[in-house]
């Protein structure tokens, strides 16, 4: 198992945003996390990636306990992620966005994103190469020097993918990669996710667009009110009564 989650709970005050969830994420597969708004999906990602510390439970990455590790440390161990809303530096180029993001994800703070010494300039070169490679991977090479505000929503999602990929993760967490994207354009994003798997990555996405989830995912986890209510193949999930009720019952 690439990731093993054991009885994970996150409480915010009296609210259990994630409640006693146990699950595994298999290597080289696409796992989708679905569930109504407020189900705890993003919190689940925040726990895995070290942005939040769990109230209880355990998280293992390739057998290593990462439960209370800080986000930069988890990133360095091979977990990349995107956020539900993409915040790009609008006046900066697409390439600079990926480079800055790369630095922020691997180092402690913004101060480190400024390159001063010779060693830092060498680092910058490495960072540039990584960023260009990531942009090529997501099909954005031709837009590298465009300003971020001038690209489409779908292209912004690809930039977010490139940001997540620039740290060479083995596990990529994508929070609603197709949200706000025109339905005709989601296929291209699905293709990039499949390509990630072909290149040895494991993908876990949170997504509301069901046709996309059902055609893309090998495995689906369903959260509702913080609890894991179903876990199985797309086929299993589509006929699961608790899932149908969670969606239709409101």
Q: Does 42 bind Mg ion (CB under 5 A)?
A: yes
Between 17 and 100, CB nearer to Mg ion: 17
To ligand ADP, the closest distance from the beta carbon of 13 in angstroms equals: 7
> What string marks each residue from 71 to 100 as x (binds Mg ion by CB under 5 A) or -?
-------------x----------------
Q: Contact, 158 vs 136, CB < 8 A?
A: no
User: What would the two tokens of residue 143 be?
Assistant: 């837009």
Between 41 and 219, CB nearer to ligand ADP: 41
Alpha helices in the chain (DSSP H): 41-48, 71-76, 94-106, 118-137, 153-165, 186-198, 210-216, 234-238, 241-248
To ligand ADP, the closest distance from the beta carbon of 144 in angstroms equals: 31
Between 40 and 78, CB nearer to ligand ADP: 40
To ligand ADP, the closest distance from the beta carbon of 123 in angstroms equals: 33
CA 227/CA 19 separation, integer angstroms: 5
To ligand ADP, the closest distance from the beta carbon of 130 in angstroms equals: 29
Between 12 and 89, CB nearer to ligand ADP: 12
CA 95/CA 97 separation, integer angstroms: 5
- For the chain, the farthest-separated pair of C-alpha atoms sits apart, in whole angstroms, at 61
Question: What, of ligand ADP, Mg ion, none, does residue 89 touch, CB below 5 to 8 Å by kind?
Answer: none
To Mg ion, the closest distance from the beta carbon of 46 in angstroms equals: 9
Q: Which residues bind ligand ADP (CB under 6 A)?
A: 12, 15, 17, 35, 37-43
User: What would the two tokens of residue 1 be?
Assistant: 């198992």
Between 35 and 78, CB nearer to ligand ADP: 35
Q: Does 167 bind Mg ion (CB under 5 A)?
A: no
Range 103-112 contact pairs with CB under 8 angstroms and sequence separation of 24 or more: 103/127, 105/72, 105/75, 105/80, 105/163, 105/166, 105/167, 106/72, 106/75, 106/76, 106/167, 107/72, 108/72
Which positions touch Mg ion (CB under 5 A)? 41-42, 84
């Amino acid at each position: 198992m690439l990731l093993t989650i054991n009885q994970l709970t996150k409480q915010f005050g009296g609210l259990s945003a994630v409640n006693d969830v146990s699950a595994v994420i298999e290597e080289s597969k696409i796992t989708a996390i679905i569930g109504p708004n407020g189900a705890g999906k993003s919190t689940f990602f925040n726990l895995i990636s070290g942005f939040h510390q769990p109230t209880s439970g355990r998280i293992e990455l390739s057998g290593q306990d990462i439960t209370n590790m800080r986000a930069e440390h988890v990133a360095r161990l091979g977990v990349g992620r995107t956020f539900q809303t993409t915040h790009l530096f609008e006046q900066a180029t697409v390439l600079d966005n990926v480079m800055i993001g790369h630095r922020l994800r691997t180092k402690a703070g913004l101060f480190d994103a400024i390159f001063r010494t010779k060693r830092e300039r060498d680092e910058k070169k490495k960072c540039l190469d990584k960023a260009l490679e990531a942009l090529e991977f997501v099909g954005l090479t031709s837009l590298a020097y465009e300003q971020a505000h001038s690209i489409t929503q779908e292209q912004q999602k690809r930039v977010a993918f490139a940001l997540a990929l620039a740290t060479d993760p083995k596990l990529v967490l994508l929070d609603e990669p197709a949200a706000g994207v025109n339905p005709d354009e989601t296929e291209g994003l699905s293709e990039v996710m499949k390509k990630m798997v072909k290149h040895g990555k494991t993908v876990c996405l949170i997504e509301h667009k069901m046709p996309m989830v059902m055609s893309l995912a090998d495995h689906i986890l369903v959260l509702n009110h913080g609890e894991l209510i179903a876990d199985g193949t797309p086929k299993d999930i589509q006929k699961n009564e608790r899932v149908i009720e969670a969606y239709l019952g409101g």
